[in-house]
Structure 1
Amino acid sequence: MCSPQRVRGTGHRVAIVGAGPAGLFAAGYLACMGHEVHVYDKLPEPGGLMLFVIPEFKVSIPRVKGGTSELADVFNVKFYTRTKVFGGARSKEEGDAYVTKEVELKDLIKDYDAVLIATGTWSVGKLNVPGEDLRGVYSALEYLFRAKAARLGHIPRDEVPQLRGRRVAIVGGDIMAVDAALEAFYDGAGTIYVFYEGTIKDVPAGEYCIRSLTDRGVKFVELTKPKSIVGDRGEVAGIELAKVDPRTREPIPGSEFLVDVNIVINATEVKPTPPVANGYLGIKVSGDGRIVVNERHVAAEKVFAAGDVVLGPTRVGDAALDGLYAAESIHEYLLYG
């Protein structure tokens, strides 16, 4: 960060929507450049996925809180928490339960000299198999979010899925699948399976991360896809899977098998969550939910976007760097147009 004593105010005001890695790094840069920065976020504290989803053994809570406190106390960044910004149709996402106030994006555009959208990825896809609505089926995002929210004191511990001694199936192969498996391991789960439709060589999380799971006794099963979740009296009693062709990733007829589990965690896909519908005030949203920007991160007049809502699901460092690049473009826009 810069020295606050050397910062000279520009008189420009910037609104940032989203207090995750991209939004916070952008806030720090813009505050250092002398702009007045206000950050809007739906959660009860700033930090986004870093604070509320990524396990503490990877990103410490004091480190995140220390950074946001420095932004507020030293660089006068104003945080508006429990506030959801929307444009056009409203969407329902993880974390919305904390929202107590809504603000329309067009009002921010009117009140500020520039607006940065950095709302991240707070929605999940479906497994699209029978039994997905049984008790004991969770998304990885939901499970990790509840675990961190409880540690932060925002929900009681009994609202977190109880995995101690349970048999857990995790479906997926990205970083969130790995995080869910590690969280389940540290929560005392009995047996943990990770089922992935590809091989360990092409897993998105990387072979090293998968090896770190298997070293802890997690069973990684490759070239496997779920066909259904088996229930008993409304609760998970098992998961039926099929082996897939390594070339087509299509299920191989007759290869079905049943695994005895009582918890299923869907870690197949997290999706960008733009606060606007496609076409709102000229902002374009792609079919997979990403906001379309040009090389200067411009989405529309006075509106910029960065982080996972532009890139899709990425690592924290990539999202933070993208937020920094967007902040540089905003600074140039405010000074030179």
Structure 2
Amino acid sequence: MRRARGMKLAALAIAGSLALAACASDEPEAGGGGGSSASGDLQIGLAYDTGGRGDRSFNDSAYAGASAAAEALDGEVEEFSPNDDGSDRAEGLAQLAEAGYNPVIAVGFNYDEVIADVAADYPDTTFAQVDGSVTLFDGSSKGENVTGLLFAEEQGSFLAGVAAATKSETGNIGFVGGVQSPLIEKFEAGYVAGAQAVNPDITVQVQYISPAGDFSGFSDPARGKIVAQGMYQAGADIVFHAAGGSGQGVFEAAAEAGARAIGVDSDQYETVGDPALQAVIMTSMLKRVDNAVEDFITSYSDGTVEGGTDIVNDLSTEGVGLSYSGGFIDDIESTVDDYTQQIVDGQITVPTTPAN
């Protein structure tokens, strides 16, 4: 159910308590830390998903795209991180719009229930939502001033499954999901399908860190490590995570087990910041949130944004794919390329929901 109108007053009332910080880095990075404010006319609002900036994954990728656009266009980025239970997401979006930031970008499907109301309250503000379609579950639109930035996660994850099955020496691999949800199940479905395309008899262990509705699974490395340890102990030699900040724990478990792991969203070989963990990251399933956010902001600046539509980033647009950092999968590049082309040509249709 949508919230009642009156977001503007609510936003002003809590202005002093929101964690907003103006950041436009001279050298945009996906890591933590602040930057110097820019003085240009472009004022970008960026509202993070659970965990905020510093996850070395999903949120950091969005920041990298926003800060790159700000640097190129002489703009400024204002950041908002929701509280632990996410109850202030609507107020955060409204505060950004009320303060004059435009466009405002919401990162993650968790903004589904609030962005439509905020967009209606601020019809002169252009909004975008990463991982959120402009169409709500009841078929209604979030508004003509909202653009959905979507990804074919199942396609990139299929390639991750191909890589895992091709490189596995035990015929046993794993998948760790942060929170059981339709979005993360797309990663699972693609990964399992890709692995089975290479080896129909492969064992794929699947476990989620937290159940549907409990988003702590995206920001709990300790629990991520425990889940991954169980998979390695049960015979897996490669584990793919789609768990945000919890993926750090998966990498730690891989290092202790002398096994391999697959990162997600960003090229985590480059972002993990620890040589011992870098050594176990075989590849990462790239979800180019950075490119999607930067392209959207550039289109806004050019005046070419078409509101009320979804932009889908898939293998054909290089919106998803695999990283080759570290050289661990260089020897199977032709195999990955072959499956990529089959998907792009429509010879393979990758499932978006798990088989069981």
| TM-score w.r.t. length of structure 2 | 0.30
* Greater relative contact order (Cα < 8 A, sep 6+): 1
Q: State TM-score, norm by structure 1.
A: 0.31
